[in-house]
């Protein structure tokens, strides 16, 4: 630790963490020697280095410095009951004692499948996978095999994981995004197959006229239209009234498979976002909360399309495996987590989410900041704009907006609050009004400090 001159005030916990001799700094230097950028995940890095977790309990996370913070990120929204939930832990331990993985199917898999099929009317059959990315990949392959077509339509600014055929136009900006009526198909990563950009039709969200025209032009070559009912990456724009039902109608007319990516939005209620906003998709992809904190993904949907995966009557039309798909530990954890998410539990989180958005937006207004807390239900996102968010193009792309968000992220961390560096956050069931009010107080302090500087 750097020696401090006498008489200076005690350094903040954040200042200690940022010193070159801190446990975090040492761990990060070691991490960077063995892993690129010191990390396994693109989103987890923020300069100079992220906090390193030591343990979590309920809605609190303790870092390797011993500093405890309120965790409003919950492993990127996947932990609906927070950390080390006793019910989920018990289910994992009981399964652990019976074995961690089998080549054979097991009872927890059947029970979780039943729970999900019974909750979501559009899901008649389900297939488990290991991540949301895998689920999206499988859903698109099913759509191609079902329709005999190759192309995919997706919305501008929407993230669906890192399968080639969805890694397009989620990070496009004013320099390369084309017109609002005809957004350009821009690769969001290097290394995609050459054919990808040409095989993806990019649509503007909440713009019925443009969607109708673009689908009219490309419809007969499109296997699938994939949409996230509440897209985090696009700032959580809510679908305009009837927009998802319109997508349902037009895709049915054109013979396109409609996929709802509910990897995040399944948090919105007992039957997911589709029960709240409508749309009745052919296929739904799931992940995050339904794995109870362990790695998971799933695709579910109408029996006719899902039958393409059926190995019981001969080689299936679509081959999908996965050594760990339907893993009993994950299935047991997911079942324990989801069983406790009753309609009343979702409703409680929704009310807390409303309280948080109201309190945070009042706090940002008091500080005179051009920012807002968007979102729905237990999901929220801090955005460096106060304008209503309708689609990807409502978001600000100037460096000042980026600096504002980085400042708020850092300020909240100093106040003991964890959200993602791009503003994503969520609630967990161990939270109550007290934790929500602590968030608002922390935002008051962070925004107030930035206003003074």
Cα 183 to chain center, whole Å? 23
Binding piece for ligand PLP, criterion CB under 6 A, among 32-40, 131-139, 148-156, 359-367: 131-139
287 touches ligand PLP by CB under 6 A: yes
**Residue 155, phi then psi, degrees to nearest 5:** -95, 145
159 included as an active-site residue: yes
Contact flag: residue 325 with ligand PLP (CB under 6 A): no
- How far, CA to CA in Å, does 101 sit from each of 76, 78, 219, 323, 396? 25, 22, 43, 9, 46
CB of 27 to ligand PLP, least distance (A): 24
Q: Is 159 in the site for ligand PLP (CB under 6 A)?
A: yes
In DSSP terms, 56 is beta-bridged to 61
Of 289-308, which residues contact ligand PLP (CB under 6 A)? 297
Positions 221 through 250 that interact with ligand PLP (CB under 6 A): 228, 232
Nearest distance from residue 78's CB to ligand PLP, in Å?
8
For 311-326, give one letter per residue: b (16+ CB within 10 A) or e.
eeeeeeebebeeebbb
Q: Which stretch binds ligand PLP (CB under 6 A): 130-138, 179-187, 266-274, 313-321?
A: 130-138
Catalytic (active site) residue 165: no
Q: How many CB atoms lie within 10 A of CB 343?
A: 12
Q: How far is the CB of 233 from ligand PLP (least distance, A)?
A: 7
3-class SS shares of the chain: helix, strand, coil, % to 5: 45, 15, 40
Q: How far apart are CA 231 and CA 390, in angstroms?
A: 11
- And the tokens for 3? 């020696």
Q: Of the candidates 435, 334, 326, 444, which has an alpha carbon nearest to the alpha carbon of residue 378? A: 435
Among 71, 228, 288, 350, which one carries the catalytic annotation?
Answer: 288
Q: Is residue 133 near ligand PLP by the rule CB under 6 A? A: yes
The residue at minimum Cβ distance from ligand PLP is: 132
Number of residues that bind ligand PLP (CB under 6 A): 15
Whether the link from the prior residue into 149 is cis, omega within 30° of 0, is no
Residue 251 sits in the site that holds ligand PLP (CB under 6 A):
no
Q: Which of 106, 131, 320, 428 binds ligand PLP (CB under 6 A)?
A: 131
Tell me whether residue 276 is one of the annotated catalytic residues: no
What residues line the site for ligand PLP (CB under 6 A)?
76, 131-133, 136, 159-161, 228, 232, 261, 263-264, 287, 297
């Amino acid at each position: 630790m750097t020696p401090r001159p006498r008489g200076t005030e005690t350094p903040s916990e954040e200042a200690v963490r940022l010193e070159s001799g801190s446990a975090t700094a040492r761990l990060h230097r070691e991490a960077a020697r063995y892993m690129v950028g010191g990390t396994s995940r693109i989103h987890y890095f923020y300069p100079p280095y992220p906090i390193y977790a030591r343990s979590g309990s309920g809605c609190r996370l303790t870092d390797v410095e011993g500093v405890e913070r309120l965790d409003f990120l919950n492993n990127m929204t996947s932990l609906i009951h927070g950390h080390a939930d006793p019910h989920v832990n018990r289910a994992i331990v009981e399964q652990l004692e019976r074995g961690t993985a089998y080549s054979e199917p097991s009872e927890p898999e059947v029970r979780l499948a039943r729970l999900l099929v019974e909750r979501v009317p559009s899901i008649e059959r389900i297939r488990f996978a290991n991540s949301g990315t895998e689920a999206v990949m499988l859903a698109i392959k099913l759509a191609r095999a079902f329709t005999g077509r190759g192309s995919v339509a997706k919305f501008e600014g929407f993230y669906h994981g890192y399968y080639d055929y969805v890694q397009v136009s989620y990070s496009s900006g004013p320099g390369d995004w084309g017109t609002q009526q005809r957004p350009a198909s821009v690769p969001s990563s290097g290394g995609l197959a050459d054919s990808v950009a040409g095989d993806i039709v990019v649509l503007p969200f909440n713009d019925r006229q443009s969607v109708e025209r673009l689908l009219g032009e490309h419809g007969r070559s499109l296997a699938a239209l994939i949409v996230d009912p509440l897209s985090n990456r696009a700032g959580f724009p809510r679908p305009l009234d009837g927009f998802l039902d319109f997508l349902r109608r037009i895709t049915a007319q054109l013979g396109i498979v409609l996929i709802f990516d509910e990897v995040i939005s399944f948090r919105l209620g007992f039957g997911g976002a589709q029960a709240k906003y409508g749309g009745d998709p052919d296929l739904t992809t799931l992940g995050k909360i339904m794995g109870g904190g362990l790695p998971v993904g799933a695709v579910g949907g109408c029996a006719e399309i899902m039958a393409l995966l059926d190995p019981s009557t001969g080689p299936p039309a679509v081959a999908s495996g996965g050594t760990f798909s339907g893993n009993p530990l994950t299935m047991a954890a997911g079942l324990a987590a989801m069983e406790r998410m009753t309609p009343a539990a979702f409703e409680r989180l929704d009310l807390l989410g409303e309280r948080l958005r109201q309190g945070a937006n009042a706090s940002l207004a008091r500080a005179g900041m051009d920012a807002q807390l968007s979102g729905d239900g237990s999901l929220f996102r801090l955005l460096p704009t106060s304008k209503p968010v309708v689609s990807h193009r409502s978001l600000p792309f100037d460096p000042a907006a980026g600096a504002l968000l980085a400042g708020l992220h850092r300020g909240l961390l100093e106040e003991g609050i964890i959200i993602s560096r791009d503003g994503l956050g969520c609630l967990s069931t161990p939270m109550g009004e007290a934790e929500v009010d602590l968030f608002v107080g922390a935002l008051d302090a962070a925004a107030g400090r930035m206003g003074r500087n």
